[in-house]
Structure 1
């Protein structure tokens, strides 16, 4: 029986690929091996790890690729939980992105429709990255089998990109040239709809703003001190006033990370963290310049010293119409996830619990059009400035529910999430094969990229000596 199943998979892999309705050569393999990918996603869900700590998650995905014949390099400079996996050689290089970091304090019992942490304060896959990384690996494995069976030219590459939630992995990997040879980059993200996401996401940069003063007894000899807290408070007020004088698309977020040790000690050190967002990377750069001036002004006014350190930066995504249309064609061919009555009932119960209309689950594909999707920032923006990129969204949670929420953690270990994951893997795998088979398609993708970027070479917003670090 096993021999017959393998023979059927190989026969499908050798069949010609086409956009017409029907199974692509990668679909049969993914249907045949569905259980192993669902088990892998579940193992990652059960071991949630936050950014730059994804030791087990990264290792599980890398091991799965090695078993599929990929050459895997674990770790890249500064990012020990990243990996680079390749199969094949030469051009075109088709890259799939894998993410696998969890979010802090969003632990949740699998499939529960009530807020029910497994452990209070523990992390959870509230953005569904256990599904994201697994589907990318599964799609790459399927595409590579088709590459071998059809004797296709080119390279299938999977980049394991850690700490997406902190905008770290891809930005540093882009700066260090890991996307430079990619003819196309395919990615996906858990969603409540089935669509190609080509709306420009907000650009974002973040910085630690530190002030250095002099400590002193706050009662006995305050004149000897220079309060770094005064500097931080003055700086924060300046940033608050700035909100009236920024574009409507701009966002400024902040949190005090270190405000001093005790009230009767004039603090000699404080640190705030500030995130800046706007519609374009150029606008964010301008905001960062104003932030630096405000920090210097606050330091001058309080007799302290300021230091601004950029933690990460990700520009707005550069859409690629040719690549987006490819993903859309394959999504229409594969179709939306096939949910059953139990799935819908579960979804409606969860929707009622979180206070949204109980519409159930998305069962259709959103028509392809410009500006589809949300505006949440992502480090895929940096990748899209280096190489052509397109992003897919697949429904893995009930309509109207949010990511970065315990409900998504619950869905990421539910059959609903697994059904969506398989659709994503099929679309990514088939699209990768289409690119290997069709030089004209690769040329159209390249021309779109050149038009969108104006042919300008990529320039990283990160300093050459910047190093990734959790924050």
Structure 2
């Protein structure tokens, strides 16, 4: 039996565990700092700088402003193969500000952003794991390279997709990531594929009272299009989702608008299914334009496919999750969790303290740009409890939990699992080759192709 298997079977601490225990206060403080910044996608200036500065102090070479995004970076330490990457995210969500310590909705600043997806925890655990793995690499004189990817604007499905397009992952062998959740598990269920679009209509202005017959209303086109999409919902798969918001419906009622825009997001289990919906949506836009004598334009803003979860990497993560165990929540943590659950109408069952065994269909369905990374490189994702059972991300409740001790305890477990897993792949070349072989089978050897147009530029939408 290989040494790594003996160590794991015996439950012996990984070389990264002691350092992460000793430096825990450092990472908790860093996470609180990022929580306080709460910057939305492509505007994470303070957050990205904090990550970059710390990594440089730890001896990483940091390439900044990657792929045309000022808040994207790649930090590298070591040389040669294998190249093990850990993904960090740090973007917040609009409108989810929340006062620390409050188990009910109470914005710190009305309308301001907040970490309603826990990316302050996600990014910090990735950072801590990368630093810990690199220290272990140096101490044990291990071959290989540690990378920490600073991937902005995950909520817009932009950062990783543009970094892939720019070649940032070209030399990476293994990719590790995690996400705050309500369960402790390794993800084996594919997230939903997603394509985000703008549908614009162009008409003719006119005085709405004096000469409306001279106008052609782009808002009429949006309404007709939206009705067509509502009817389409009956004729799509139960796994599919269609979301929309009207971004521009004209300026004043007494001017017939010559421009209107509706943003539509399409989701389903596979990228192929989403593409089919997209083609149907294009027909609905053309029909609405024909019926209102306007012109339609459909623009793909971002796209992320359903992830390919690598079992070799996932099982390695699972061994460390089993060894480290669930976050050790105390009575105050459980009381806070139950108070949040009561506030949102969920069963007051508190926080999960169980480890889900490795198996099929574990994980949520929310879309992520990590799906694109998984189509280019072997990748696995971990979930660790950072919010109560029965509650959702993208809410004030997750923002509250992301600054609470319960969230920080989940972050600590995640950093240990990621750090130890990274060292395993530095120590064991066969693990790397096995993960790559599985990836080759899953992708049938097809090279990665970006969903982005050649001239696509990252932008907030």
Which TM-score band (shorter chain)?
over 0.9
Residues in 1 aligned to 2:256 and 2:154: alpha-carbon distance in whole angstroms: 37
Match of 1:331 in 2: 321
| Partner SS for 1:356 | coil
Show the 5 A alignment for 1:207-246. Answer: 207-246=197-236
TM-score, normalised to structure 1's length? 0.94
Shift of residue 88, structure 1, vs aligned partner: 0.7
Show the 5 A alignment for 1:260-299. Answer: 260-299=250-289
Give CA-to-partner distance per residue, 1:235-277, whole Å, 9 cap, x none.
2222222222222211111111000111221111000000000
| Paired residues, number | 457
Residues in 1 aligned to 2:382 and 2:43: alpha-carbon distance in whole angstroms: 26
Residues in 1 aligned to 2:226 and 2:421: alpha-carbon distance in whole angstroms: 47
Shift of residue 17, structure 1, vs aligned partner: 9.1
Preserved CA contact (<8 Å) 1:16 1:25: no
Preserved CA contact (<8 Å) 2:67 2:162: no
Residues in 2 aligned to 1:428 and 1:28: alpha-carbon distance in whole angstroms: 14
TM-score, normalised to structure 2's length? 0.96
Shift of residue 219, structure 1, vs aligned partner: 2.1
Shift of residue 89, structure 1, vs aligned partner: 1.1
| Partner SS for 1:364 | coil
Uncovered stretches (5+) of structure 2, i.e. residues with no partner: none
Uncovered stretches (5+) of structure 1, i.e. residues with no partner: 1-14
Preserved CA contact (<8 Å) 1:317 1:381: yes
Root-mean-square deviation (Å): 1.5
Q: Residues 240 and 355 of structure 1: is their aligned pair in 2 closer, same or farther, counting only changes over 3 Å?
A: closer
Give CA-to-partner distance per residue, 1:387-425, whole Å, 9 cap, x none.
011000011122222211111111111111111111101
Match of 2:375 in 1: 385
Match of 1:443 in 2: 433
Match of 2:124 in 1: 134
Show the 5 A alignment for 1:4-15. Answer: none
Show the 5 A alignment for 1:19-38. Answer: 19=8, 20-38=10-28
Post-superposition, which runs of at least 4 consecutive aligned residues in structure 1 deviate over 4 A? none
Q: 2:237 aligns with which of 247, 261, 269?
A: 247
| Partner SS for 1:390 | strand
1:399 counterpart = 2:397 = no
Residues in 2 aligned to 1:437 and 1:151: alpha-carbon distance in whole angstroms: 10
Single out whichever of 170-179 and 159-168 deviates more from structure 2.
170-179
Preserved CA contact (<8 Å) 1:17 1:24: no
Show the 5 A alignment for 1:63-102. Answer: 63-102=53-92
Give CA-to-partner distance per residue, 1:144-198, whole Å, 9 cap, x none.
0111111111110011011111111112212222222221110001111111012
| Partner SS for 1:386 | coil
Single out whichever of 216-225 and 22-31 deviates more from structure 2.
216-225
1:191 counterpart = 2:207 = no
Preserved CA contact (<8 Å) 1:17 1:25: no
Residues in 2 aligned to 1:421 and 1:211: alpha-carbon distance in whole angstroms: 45
Match of 2:343 in 1: 353
Preserved CA contact (<8 Å) 1:194 1:365: yes
Residues in 1 aligned to 2:217 and 2:371: alpha-carbon distance in whole angstroms: 39
Shift of residue 306, structure 1, vs aligned partner: 1.3
Residues in 2 aligned to 1:352 and 1:229: alpha-carbon distance in whole angstroms: 41
Preserved CA contact (<8 Å) 1:109 1:410: yes
Residues in 2 aligned to 1:377 and 1:340: alpha-carbon distance in whole angstroms: 32
Preserved CA contact (<8 Å) 2:202 2:260: yes
